[in-house]
Amino acid sequence: MKNKYIVGNLMTLLTMIIWGTTYISTKVLLGKLQPMEILFYRFIIAYFTLMLVYPRFKKINSIKEELIFASAGITGVTLYYLIENVALKYTLASNVGLFSAVAPILTAILSKFFMEHETFSKNLLYGFIIAIIGVFLVVFNGSFILKLNPFGDFLAILASATWSVYSIILKRLNNKYKYNYIYITRKIFFYGVIFMIPLILILNVNLSIERLIMPSILFNILFLSLVASALCFITWNIGVSFIGAVKASNYIYIVPLITAVTSVIVLKESITYVVLFGAAFIISGLYISQNGFRNPFKYITFFIKRLKRRDIYETK
């Protein structure tokens, strides 16, 4: 059980580190492709990749099961990314980044009503308040330009709520159906792509293969497809399964921080003391959300003792 908890936290952390870098790739692609194009290419390639990795099919057991998979596909793939992209057209990217950090608290509230073993504790609230201050500092980086746009900001919050609903559906899926994680993720992608097709037709999206094979576009699409989707949706699935939707969602706080660090490395942007100060708040808020106000050094000591014991057994 302890090992599952550690693996779940590591998987979720890995997912958020990678997802924090996707904004750079998306920024590059938005200069050449429409948002719906990026979304379709990303998940159709990811779907067929997982098909190659795990080519097994299972018979349809019930309409209810298919509806759960379909609801996961439309919330976690189609609606979340579509709403977020539309929000970026109506409000500042910094606002979207800030409002995305409400996902953990929304997940906790929804879980209280729809999940049996998930609880809403004071530590979650304290951690949220501290982490949201850190997210604010990192996102705005010392320059306070919060221009509220009711419609765009509402969409940003709606995107976070959609992701929270997806995380809860995913947890229920894992609890009820003991399928392979790759199979679950692949089937979610399938329904996500199915729901994209009507939108592509309605929005009259031009899917151009010529643009897709351009080196810079192809590289970023493959990164989003193979790493950020095929791999990360599986690791997120494992994380939610092992530690629960609420604790997994708390790691969303670090996404703006990872994006800021990536911008420094890739885009050569400067890092300020405000960002470092914000990072301290985010990490503290995440820790409090997960563990409360307990001494963090206790966990460090625990891991050191475990490593020492392993060394003793190996020498014997």
pLDDT, tens digit (0-9, with 9 covering 90-100), for 249-259:
888 888 888 87
Residue 10 lies in a domain: yes
Q: How many CB atoms lie within 10 A of CB 40?
A: 21
Q: What is the sign, positive or negative, of the torsion defined by CA atoms of 61, 161, 92, 97?
A: negative
Rounded distance, CA 78 to CA 162, Å? Answer: 10
Residue 316 belongs to a domain:
no
Cα of first residue to Cα of last residue in the chain, in angstroms, is 27
Per-residue confidence (pLDDT) for residue 314, from 0 to 100: 45
pLDDT digits (tens, 9 = 90+) for 273-315: 777 888 888 888 888 877 777 665 555 454 455 545 544 444 4
Please report the pLDDT score of residue 203 as a whole number: 86
Tokens of 237: 């699935």
Q: How far is CA 236 from CA 11, 96, 265, in A?
A: 7, 21, 25
Bigger pLDDT: 227 vs 117: 227
Q: Is residue 297 part of a domain?
A: no
Tokens of 187: 């089937």
CB 159 within 8 A of CB 93: no
Structural domain tally of the chain? 1
Q: What is the pLDDT of residues 61-96, one digit of tens each?
A: 889 999 999 999 999 999 998 888 788 777 766 677
- Average the pLDDT over 183-204 and give the result: 93
Domain extent for 114: 1-121+148-259
Among the listed ranges 117-126, 150-159, 244-253, 280-289, which one has the minimum average pLDDT value? Answer: 117-126
**According to DSSP H, which parts of the chain are helical?**
2-19, 22-29, 35-53, 63-73, 80-90, 93-99, 103-114, 122-140, 150-176, 181-202, 209-212, 215-222, 232-243, 245-249, 255-266, 273-291, 297-315
Q: Decide if pLDDT at 155 tops 50.
A: yes
Which position has the token pair 């947890």?
Answer: 171
Query: In this structure, is residue 167 part of a structural domain?
Result: yes
Higher pLDDT, 274 or 140: 274
Q: What is the pLDDT of residue 213?
A: 83
Residue 158 lies in a domain: yes
Q: What are phi and psi of 250, to 5 degrees?
A: -60, -30
Task: Look at residue 275 and tell me if it is in a domain.
Answer: no
Q: Are 309 and 158 in contact (CB under 8 A)?
A: no
Give the pair of three-digit tokens for residue 136.
Answer: 């604010």
Residue 229: inside a domain, yes or no?
yes
Separation between Cα atoms, residue 194 and residue 281, nearest integer Å: 40
* Cα(269)–Cα(292) distance, integer angstroms: 34
What are the tokens at 160? 């976070």
Answer whether residue 267 is part of any domain: no
